[in-house]
Homo-oligomer: A and B are copies of this chain.
Amino acid sequence: MRWSELNQADCPIARALSIVGDRWTFLILRDCFFGLKRFEAFQANLGLSRTILRDRLAHLVRAGLLVQRPYQIKPVRYDYVLSAKGRALNGVMLMLGQWGAAAVEGQPETQVRHRHQTCGEILVPYVACTACGEKVVEKDVRAERRAKVLT
Q: Which A residues contact B (CB, under 8 angstroms)?
A: 1-3, 7-19, 21-23, 26-27, 30, 33-34, 45-48, 63-65, 85, 87-105, 107-108, 110-119, 121-132, 134-147
A99 to chain B, nearest CB (A): 6
A139: nearest residue on chain B (CB-CB)?
B117
The verdict on A127 contacting B88 (CB below 8 Å), with A107-B7, A110-B10 known, is no
A94 and B141 contact, CB distance less than 8 A: yes
Contacts of A88 in B (CB 8 A): 99, 102-103
Docked CA distance A96–B127 (Å): 12
Q: Tell me if B110 and A121 are in contact (CB < 8 A).
A: no
Select one of B105, B123, B130 contacting A125, CB under 8 A: B130
- In the complex, are the beta carbons of B7 and A94 less than 8 A apart? no
Q: What separation, in Å, do the CA atoms of A130 and B85 have in the docked complex?
A: 25
Chain B residue, CB-CB nearest to A94 = B127
The answer to whether B143 touches A110 (Cβ under 8 A) is: no
CA of A93 to CA of B142, assembled, Å = 13
A126 contacts which of B99, B100, B108, B128 (Cβ < 8 Å)?
A: B128
With a cutoff of 8 Å between Cβ atoms, the chain B residues found around residue A121 in the complex are 129, 131-132
Given contacts A112-B11, A144-B114, contact A126 B127 (CB under 8 A): yes
- Report B-chain residues with C-beta under 8 Å of the C-beta of A9: 110
